Amino acid sequence: MMNTTDTHDPDGGWRELAEGLHGLRAEPPATLAPAVLERVGLSDAYLSVDGPAGPLLVAYNGRGISATAPGADEARFLERFQARFGRPLRPAGRPPERLVAQVERLLTPGRAGRPPDYDLRGTSEFERAVLAKAQEIPRGQVRPYAWVAGELGQPAAVRAVGAALGRNPVPVLIPCHRVVGSDGRLTGYAWGVPYKRTLLAAEGADPDELERLGRRGTRFFGSDTTRIYCYPTCHNARRTTDAHLMTFTGAADAAAAGYRPCRVCRPPALAG
Amino acid sequence: MSARPRGETPPAPAVFKPVMETQPELPARLARDLDGAFEELVGVHQRLVYGLALRVVGVPADAEEVAQDTFERAYHALAGYPAERVAAMRLRPWLAAIALNLARNRLRRRPPPARPLEDGDGRPLAVAAPAAAEPAEVAERGQERERWAELLAALPRGYREAVVLRHVEGLPYAEVAEILGRPVGTVKTHVHRGVRQLRQELEARKERTR
Q: Is the pLDDT of residue B88 over 60?
A: yes
- CATH number of the domain residue B178 falls in: 1.20.140.160
Question: Would you state the pLDDT for residue B126?
Answer: 36
User: Do both A63 and A99 map to the same domain?
Assistant: yes
Question: Would you state the pLDDT for residue A3?
Answer: 43
Distance CA A105, CA A109 (A): 8
Instruction: Supply the range of the domain harboring residue B177.
Output: 26-113+137-209
Q: Is the pLDDT of residue B13 over 50?
A: no
Residue B129 forms part of a structural domain: no
Within its chain, how far is the Cα of B70 from the centroid?
A: 12
Distance CA A130, CA A147 (A): 11
The band of B8, judged by pLDDT with boundaries at 50, 70 and 90, is very low
Instruction: Please list, residue by residue across A148-181, b when 16 or more beta carbons sit within 10 angstroms of its beta carbon and e when fewer do.
Output: bbbbbeeeebbebbbebbebbbbbbbbbbbbbbb
pLDDT tens, residue by residue, B123-179: 433 333 444 555 676 677 778 888 889 889 999 999 999 999 999 999 999 999 999
Instruction: Please list, residue by residue across B12-49, b when 16 or more beta carbons sit within 10 angstroms of its beta carbon and e when fewer do.
Output: eebbeeebebebeebbbbbbeebeebbbebbebbbbbb
Q: How far is B197 from chain A (nearest CA, A)?
A: 9
Question: Would you state the pLDDT for residue A131?
Answer: 97
Q: What is the arithmetic mean of pLDDT over B79-99?
A: 96
What's the structural domain count of chain A?
3
Distances (CA, A) of A136 to A142, A151, A260: 10, 11, 21
Diameter of chain B measured on Cα atoms:
61
Question: Would you state the pLDDT for residue B21?
Answer: 53
pLDDT tens, residue by residue, A128-168: 999 999 999 999 999 999 999 999 999 999 999 999 999 99
Average per-residue pLDDT for chain B: 82
User: Do both A147 and A135 map to the same domain?
Assistant: yes
Question: Would you state the pLDDT for residue B208?
Answer: 80
Q: Is B129 on the interface with A (CB under 8 A)?
A: no
The reply to whether residue B145 touches residue A14, judged by beta carbons under 8 angstroms, is no
User: Do both A244 and A257 map to the same domain?
Assistant: yes
Residue A103 forms part of a structural domain: yes
Count of positions (residues) in chain A: 272
The reply to whether residue B76 touches residue A40, judged by beta carbons under 8 angstroms, is yes
Question: Would you state the pLDDT for residue B130?
Answer: 45
Question: Would you state the pLDDT for residue B6?
Answer: 45
The reply to whether residue A23 touches residue B196, judged by beta carbons under 8 angstroms, is no
Question: Would you state the pLDDT for residue B9?
Answer: 40
Q: Give ipTM to 2 decimals.
A: 0.78
Residue B4 forms part of a structural domain: no
Distance CA A158, CA A162 (A): 6
Residues of chain A with pLDDT under 50: 1-8, 271-272
User: Do both A126 and A209 map to the same domain?
Assistant: yes
Residues 13-32 of A with CB under 8 A from B: 13-14, 16-18, 20-32
- The reply to whether the predicted model has a pTM over 0.95 is no
Domain boundary among A214, A247, A264: A214
Q: How far is B61 from chain A (nearest CA, A)?
A: 9
Question: Would you state the pLDDT for residue A238?
Answer: 87
Distance CA A268, CA A260 (A): 10
Q: How far is B35 from chain A (nearest CA, A)?
A: 7
Phi, psi of B30 (to 5 degrees): -60, -40
Please say if A265 is a catalytic residue.
Answer: no
Residues 84-123 of B with CB under 8 A from A: 121-123
Q: Is the pLDDT of residue B35 over 80?
A: yes
- CATH number of the domain residue A43 falls in: 3.30.160
Residue A23 forms part of a structural domain: no
Interface test with B, best of A25, A37, A44 (most B CBs within 10 A): A25
Residue B203 forms part of a structural domain: yes
User: Do both A124 and A210 map to the same domain?
Assistant: yes
Chain A residue whose CA is closest to B63: A28
Q: Between B67, B152, B168, which is nearest A25 by CB? A: B168
User: Do both A182 and A130 map to the same domain?
Assistant: yes
Residue B96 forms part of a structural domain: yes
Question: Would you state the pLDDT for residue B203?
Answer: 86
Which 3-state string (H, E, C) describes A136-197?
CCCCCCCEEHHHHHHHCCCCCCHHHHHHHHHCCCCECCECHHHEECCCCCCCCCCCCHHHHH
Residue A154 forms part of a structural domain: yes
User: Do both A196 and A129 map to the same domain?
Assistant: yes
Q: Between B54, B75, B199, which is nearest A13 by CB? A: B199
Q: Between B38, B151, B200, which is nearest A2 by CB? A: B200
Phi, psi of B85 (to 5 degrees): -65, -45
Count other Cβ atoms within 10 Å, centred on residue B108. 8
Instruction: Supply the range of the domain harboring residue A102.
Output: 35-107
Q: What angle is formed at CA B199 by the lines to CA B194 and CA B201, rounded to 5 degrees?
A: 95
Q: Between B50, B151, B195, which is nearest A32 by CB? A: B50
Count other Cβ atoms within 10 Å, centred on residue B155. 20
Residues 155-194 of B with CB under 8 A from A: 163-164, 167-170, 192
Residue B94 forms part of a structural domain: yes
A30: which chain B residues are within 8 Å (Cβ-Cβ)? 124, 126-127
The band of B7, judged by pLDDT with boundaries at 50, 70 and 90, is very low
Count other Cβ atoms within 10 Å, centred on residue A91. 10
DSSP B127: G
Domain boundary among A191, A214, A237: A214
Question: Would you state the pLDDT for residue B196?
Answer: 93
Residue B8 forms part of a structural domain: no
> Is residue B54 a contact partner of residue A32, using CB atoms and an 8 Å limit?
no
Distances (CA, A) of B31 to A42, B99, B167: 16, 21, 32
Phi, psi of A9 (to 5 degrees): -60, 125
Count other Cβ atoms within 10 Å, centred on residue A132. 15
Question: Would you state the pLDDT for residue B134?
Answer: 57
What's the structural domain count of chain B?
1
Residue A6 forms part of a structural domain: no
Question: Would you state the pLDDT for residue B54?
Answer: 94
Question: Could you report how far apart the first and last alpha carbons of chain B are, in Å?
Answer: 49
Candidate list A176, A230, A234, A262, residue with the active-site label: A176
B47: which chain A residues are within 8 Å (Cβ-Cβ)? 25-28
User: Do both A200 and A258 map to the same domain?
Assistant: no
Residue B125 forms part of a structural domain: no
Residue B86 forms part of a structural domain: yes
